[in-house]
Amino acid sequence: MDATQAASPHSWRSLPAAQQPVWPDERALATVLDDLATAPPLVFAGECDQLRSRLAAVARGEAFLLQGGDCAETFDAVSADQVRDKLKTLLQMAAVLTYATSLPVVKVGRIAGQYSKPRSGSTEQRDGVELPVYRGDAVNGLDFTPQSRTPDPERLRRMYHASAATLNIVRAFTTGGYADLRQVHTWNQDFVASSPIGERYERLADEIDRALAFLRACGAQPGEFGSTEFYSSHEALILDYEAALTRRDSRTGDWYDVSGHMVWIGERTRQLDGAHVEFASRVRNPVAVKLGPSVTADEALALIDRLDPDREPGRLSFITRMGAGRIRDVLPGLVEKVTASGARIAWICDPMHGNTFTAPSGHKTRRFDDVLDEVRGFFEVHRELGTHPGGLHVELTGEDVTECVGGGAEVRLDDLAHRYESACDPRLNRYQSLDLAFQAAELYQE
């Protein structure tokens, strides 16, 4: 690798890249990538810098992160209503968490780019038929037919346009009055009044109500009430796509992946000598790495050396996904060693991916109680160590789906088939998400 290549966002090309699609037509791929390389950025470098400074506050213990959205976005679901409902759920959760933590909540969607998925196998068998596995709408279709499952590079172009349309809706909703805190609080009051377990949360909702009434009485009308900062994020999985959307910032000469504000590296692609870590090391966006229960402290320290050599708070977040049964064993040693190294990392809890199991009906699901217990363990470990539990990373939707079991609205294993709509992993539905926010708020305050 020569020096110019090393300084460029293409240095990853000489390294093994896990989980990449095998495109049937390289020429068609090249045409799409050429077009994407000259397409307008989806986000701006200055916005990525701003998110990095918000995440620096998370790393310092002065802010809390709420990151959430679908496991896999789909092109069909790019509608104003669906995006609105997801945002509404996230904003409601954020309001509760802001009050409970007395900290600013940094809001980041798994949104506007979360179109590709790492998979455990490369093919899927059904009734003796074997086809390529679904890798997300960016690559192929969910329908189990040879045509749909054949990777099609034109889908990368659709991913770009779907992300642009989604971001446009997000920007309109978060700055156009819809995100007004007083409105968001009214929705939370409706939830408390109408949900079967809402009563439990009456006290918290009433306290928020009184705080808002107090501010109103004082004549305070802060501009922050009327709109909110909201950022996009996704797993940087398909490196051809991410590299095509990587641009040199005219202000500083640094490279930014302008496909989303924040990108993360998944548990399956975080190899130290692999292409994903190399790619992420070349861009200035805030980046995150998912860490599962098999991670060692040495691996975590090596990831810090690669991705945050300057020890810049906000640059790197670790999203741990240990499972409710493991978090209390695995997390303490990891946090201790990383903290002792002097690095300032934002610690985020993904309570979803370590708690997945297959129901008798064949549906992939998660128990709400396991999700909550991992959050509880996360808070316990950080309290014990005197470190900051920086935030939550959740798979959720604003719809009334039945994909995870339990929670206030009590979805049972038998109910899963009723409205199981996820293209990949099971998401918390609207009620389960709010339930989680209220319960996490109580746990944080303990």
Query: Binds 10, which of Mn ion, ligand PEP, none (CB < 5 to 8 A, cut-off by type)?
Result: none
Does position 135 interact with ligand PEP (CB under 6 A)? The reply is: no
- Residue 261 interacting partner from Mn ion, ligand PEP, none (CB closer than 5 to 8 Å by kind): none
Positions 305 through 334 that interact with ligand PEP (CB under 6 A): 321
* Cβ–Cβ < 8 Å for 442, 100: yes
290 binds ligand PEP (CB under 6 A): yes
Restricting to residues 332-391, which ones interact with ligand PEP according to CB under 6 A? 353
* Partner whose footprint covers residue 344, from ligand PEP, Mn ion, none (CB < 5 to 8 Å by kind): none
| Contact indicator for 231, 107 with CB cutoff of 8 Å | yes
Binding residues with ligand PEP: total (CB under 6 A): 9
Nearest distance, CB of residue 70 and Mn ion, angstroms: 8
Using the minimum distance from each CB to ligand PEP, give the nearer residue, 118 or 325.
118
Looking only at the bridges linking them, the beta strands covering 255-257 and 246-248 are antiparallel
Residue 274 CB, nearest approach to Mn ion (Å):
20
Q: Which stretch in 1-9, 35-43, 264-272, 308-316 sits in contact with ligand PEP by CB under 6 A? A: 264-272
- The count of other CB atoms within 10 Å of the CB of residue 443 is 18
Among 63, 71, 181, 307, binds ligand PEP (CB under 6 A): 71
Q: Please report whether residue 266 would count as binding ligand PEP according to CB under 6 A.
A: yes
> What pairs with residue 287 in β-bridges?
263, 316
Which of 265, 210, 203 lies closest to 238, judged by CA? 265
The region of 14-22, 260-268, 325-333, 335-343 touching ligand PEP under the rule CB under 6 A is 260-268
Of the residues 61, 118, 226, 293, which one makes contact with ligand PEP according to CB under 6 A: 118
Contacts of 210 (CB under 8 A, 6+ apart): none
* CA nearest neighbour of 131 among 148, 116, 146: 146
Q: Is there a contact between 275 and 252 (Cβ–Cβ < 8 Å)? A: no
Q: Looking at beta carbons, which residue is closest to ligand PEP?
A: 266
Between 38 and 77, how does the x/- string for binding to Mn ion read (CB under 5 A)? ---------------------------------x------
Residue 321 binds which of ligand PEP, Mn ion, none (CB < 5-8 A, kind-dependent): ligand PEP
**C-beta separation of 137 from 73 below 8 A:** yes
Cβ atoms of 416 and 403 within 8 Å: the answer is yes
267 binds Mn ion, rule: CB under 5 A: no
Which of ligand PEP, Mn ion, none interacts with 242 (beta carbon under 5 to 8 A by kind)?
none
267 binds ligand PEP (CB under 6 A): yes
Amino acid at 234: H
| From ligand PEP, Mn ion, none, interface partner of 290 (C-beta below 5 to 8 A by class) | ligand PEP
Which segment (149-157, 211-219, 224-232, 266-274) binds ligand PEP by CB under 6 A? 266-274
End-to-end CA distance of the chain: 53
Q: How many CB atoms lie within 10 A of CB 360?
A: 8
Q: Are 350 and 417 in contact (CB under 8 A)?
A: no
Task: Find the shortest distance in angstroms from Cβ 138 to ligand PEP.
Answer: 13
308 binds, among Mn ion, ligand PEP, none (CB under 5 to 8 A by kind): none
Instruction: Give all strands (DSSP E) within 342-438, no chain letters.
Output: 346-349, 356-358, 364-366, 391-395
Closer Cβ to ligand PEP, 115 or 191, answer by number: 115
Between CA 286 and CA 315 the distance in angstroms is 5
Between CA 440 and CA 259, with CA 294 as vertex, the angle to 5 degrees is 65
User: Closer CB to ligand PEP, residue 107 or residue 353?
Assistant: 353
Q: Does 425 bind Mn ion (CB under 5 A)?
A: yes
CB closer to ligand PEP, 214 vs 357: 357
118 binds, among ligand PEP, Mn ion, none (CB under 5 to 8 A by kind): ligand PEP
SS3 294: coil
Q: What angle do CA 328, 333, 337 make, to 5 degrees?
A: 150
| CA distances for 272 relative to 4, 183, 275, 294, 433, angstroms | 21, 45, 8, 14, 34
CB of 72 to Mn ion, least distance (A): 7
Q: Which of residues 179-238 bind ligand PEP (CB under 6 A)?
A: none
The closest alpha carbon to 431, from 199, 107, 192, 95, belongs to: 192
- Selection from 285, 314, 289, 301 nearest residue 9 by Cα: 285
Lookup: tokens for 26: 């390289």
- Per CB under 6 A, 61 contacts ligand PEP: no
- Residues that bind ligand PEP in the complex, under the rule CB under 6 A: 71, 118, 266-268, 290, 321, 353, 425
- Residues that bind Mn ion in the complex, under the rule CB under 5 A: 71, 425
